[in-house]
Structure 1
Amino acid sequence: MKKYLIAALLLATALSYSQEVITEENPKLKRNFNDVVHNKGRMFVYWGWNRGSYSKSDITFKGDDYYFTLFDTKARDKPKPFGIYYFKLDEVTIPQTNFRAGYFFHDHYNVALGVDHMKYVMHNNQVVNASGNINTGGVYDGVYNNTPINLEKDFLTFEHTDGLNYVTVEVNRFDTVDNWIGFGVKNIDINLTEGLGFGVLYPKTNTKLLGKERYDEFHVSGYGMSAHVGLDITFFKYFFIQYTFKAGYINMQDIRTTASKSDSASQDFTFLENMWVFGGKFNVATGKNKNKNK
């Protein structure tokens, strides 16, 4: 079902760039998107939750007495069961969350700043191939040459669980498509949005490596880029709910793994993210520039 929803959203996004939808044969659908809603000068904020999935990743660990790579490691997200902490102010960051604030500099375009608080957990007890060397005086010492190894917890735990924080600036297009789909319910607008984002990764990485003391601190570790498409339903011009599908690439070349600055890890991978958010829109322009919504 998910793949059909994604295909439908992508198709609708492509069509949304059309300036005139249909001709005389369908007069009901003849209105130009530019005539629907004036957004320029408005701001918006939203909050919500996400689920993520990640590609396999090669992870390289380096320190004074080791340098090795684990190939094709698998990872998953870590959603919390739905509960009251999703809404409590002192616990809202426990789930996988999304926050963003933006400004419409054009009726159809906005710029937004926010964070996708995702979570990334490497699977323990998976068997992967390793190459490199370890010389810590422990049971895992040796030279590895594409050698299978079981990722036991005594060897490694590796999580970006507080979290895989993707801090981005996004530029988005926004189109109201009520007329195109023949929707005419008063005080409800159907909108398509799509855009591109670029930002930095600021994870709090929970790592325990080769018997060393557990490390869990925030650190700017790399960069990411992404593209997304979404469906927005706005009520009474000011309140909205939105579903967004996002795909992206993350490259982290400076992941802290222990208290020693000489120890680090690096990895890159692609991700898919499903987001469900709710928020509000409000006018900030005044005088002659104040927007007149439909």
Structure 2
Amino acid sequence: MKKLFVIGVMMSSFVFGQKEKDTLSVERNLETFTGATPKKQKPDPLSKKGQMFVFFGWNRAAFSNSDINFSGNGYNFQLNNVSAHDRPTKFGIVYFDPTWFTVVQYNFRAGYFIKDNLALVLGIDHMKYVMDQNQTVNFKGHISDPTYAGMVQNGQVNLADEKFLTFEHTDGLNYENLGLERYQSLINKKNIDLVWSYGAGIGVMFPKSNVRLFGNERSDRFHVAGMGTDVRTSLNLVFWNHWMARLEGKFGYINMWDIKTTLNNKPDKARQDFVFGQVLAGIGYTFNTKKYN
């Protein structure tokens, strides 16, 4: 009897000790028999290879002073230390009407995660650049037309009356760029995530410059005028794994060496370079390109 009792205890210990292992074996056998596959854990947003996001928002921008050189038939001169500002549209329905969205200073992003936490981001930054009209600037160069040469007094020209020059990139100062951004999770909750990103970009400048020089007909056409580069950082608040609110800051450099100043094919052009700062905010949506159960 004692031997039977000891054998029973040993067998019980063996059976209960193997319970978890046997259960896993049964589950594996069941998966093999039924064809079922184990569930994949759904990844956190803005973190895994294969995820994507799209974003649309609005910006405010600031620009450094710049020297602008103008050249063409009968003139070649430079205006020094020219100041400018952006031109935000007054808030209203225009910000939400898709038929009018290009009127405002807007931003678009489409990102794809090529590696975990690393995204390739295509961006369109539609800023607006307006030369301050009420300013007197230093002049260097020559103008053959006596009317406009006479507007230069003591090496300076007053731009206030708009007769000498109006100069804008308001349709707009379009920076078409491609960037790399690294993402890092700061807060990870059930229905809310906070993700920080930083990166850099480079692209072409495709402005529609509104320029009227010497009273000529205003130049107003899209044209690849130069290049830009930037560094950027953002905070992304993601709700329910998909909806995203984004706040981004950007600092960059723009060099445009072929700004069209006439409507015809004459060689008239302007060139300038400056640094810019931009703050933008908006909404987006993030999703997985890979299927997760």
**What's the TM-score bracket when you normalise by the shorter of the two chains?**
0.7 to 0.9
Aligned pairs (5 A) from 1:33-48? 38-48=47-57
* 2:136 corresponding residue in structure 1: 127
1:99 aligns with 2:108: yes
Match of 1:219 among 196, 219, 223: 223
Secondary structure of the residue aligned to 1:161 is: strand
Q: CA RMSD in A?
A: 1.8
- Partner Cα separation in structure 1 for residue 159 and residue 125 of structure 2: 28
Distance 1:110 1:133 in 2: 49
Structure 2 CA distance for aligned equivalents of residues 244 and 159 of structure 1: 25
Distance in 1, matches of 2:57 and 2:163, equals: 36
Larger helix percent: 2
**Structure 1 stretch displaced more, 258-267 or 69-78:** 258-267
Question: Are the counterparts in 2 of residues 118 and 164 from structure 1 also a CA contact under 8 Å?
Answer: yes
Query: How has the CA–CA distance of structure 1 residues 89 and 36 changed in structure 2, closer, same or farther, with 3 Å as cutoff?
Result: closer
Helix, strand or coil for the counterpart of 1:212?
Answer: coil
Q: Does 1:285 align with 2:270?
A: no
* Separation in 2, partners of 1:109, 1:142: 57
Instruction: Give the 5 Å matches for 1:9-88.
Output: 38-88=47-97
TM-score, normalised on structure 2?
A: 0.81
Picking from 270, 274, 278, the partner of 2:279 is: 274
The match for 1:149 is 157
1:242 aligns to 2:251 (yes or no): no
Aligned ranges 1:161-180 → 2 under 5 Å: 161-178=170-187
Secondary structure of the corresponding residue to residue 98 of structure 2: coil
Structure number with greater Rg is: 2
Give unmatched runs, 5+ long, in structure 1. Answer: 1-34, 179-183
Structure 2 residue identity aligned to 1:148: Q
Aligned mate of 2:269, from 240, 264, 273: 264
**CA 1:278/1:134 → structure 2, altered by over 3 Å: closer, same or farther?**
same
What do the CA deviations read for 1:251-274 (whole angstroms, capped 9, x no partner)? Answer: 000000112431100000000000
Is the CA contact (8 Å cut-off) linking 1:243 and 1:277 kept in structure 2?
Answer: yes
User: Letter of the aligned partner of 2:148 in structure 1?
Assistant: Y
Mapped to 1, the partners of 2:279 and 2:151 lie a distance apart of 41
Q: Matches of 1:230 and 1:185 in 2, distance apart?
A: 19
2:111–2:119 Cα contact (<8 Å) kept: yes
Match of 2:205 in 1: 201
Distance 1:143 1:206, change over 3 A: closer
Runs of 4+ in 1 over 6 A off after TM superposition: 143-146
Q: What is the number of equivalent residue pairs in this alignment?
A: 248
Which consecutive residues of structure 2, in runs of 5 or more, have no partner in the other structure? 1-42
What SS does structure 1 have at the residue aligned with 2:101?
coil
Q: Is the 8 A contact 1:135 1:142 kept in 2?
A: no
Using the TM superposition, give the Cα deviation of residue 173 of structure 1 relative to its aligned residue in structure 2, in angstroms: 0.4
For residues 78-131 of structure 1, give each alpha carbon's deviation from its aligned partner in whole angstroms, at most 9, with x where no partner exists. Answer: 001110110101101111000011101112100011200000000112011000
Summarize the alignment of residues 101-120 of structure 1 with structure 2, pairs less than 5 Å apart: 101-120=110-129
Q: Is the 8 A contact 1:59 1:265 kept in 2?
A: yes
Query: For the Cα contact (< 8 Å) 1:133–1:143, is it kept in 2?
Result: no
TM-score computed with the length of structure 1 as normaliser: 0.81
CA distance in 2, matches of 1:145, 1:155: 13
Deviation at 1:151, TM superposition (A): 1.1
2:183·2:195 contact (CA, 8 Å) conserved in 1? yes
Residue deviations 1:152-208, cap 9 Å, x none? 301100000000000000100011111xxxxx6430001101110000000000010
8 Å contact from structure 1 (residues 133, 144) kept in 2 = no
Question: Identity over aligned residues, as a percent?
Answer: 45
Please tell me whether the aligned partners of residues 58 and 70 of structure 1 are also in contact (alpha carbons under 8 angstroms): yes
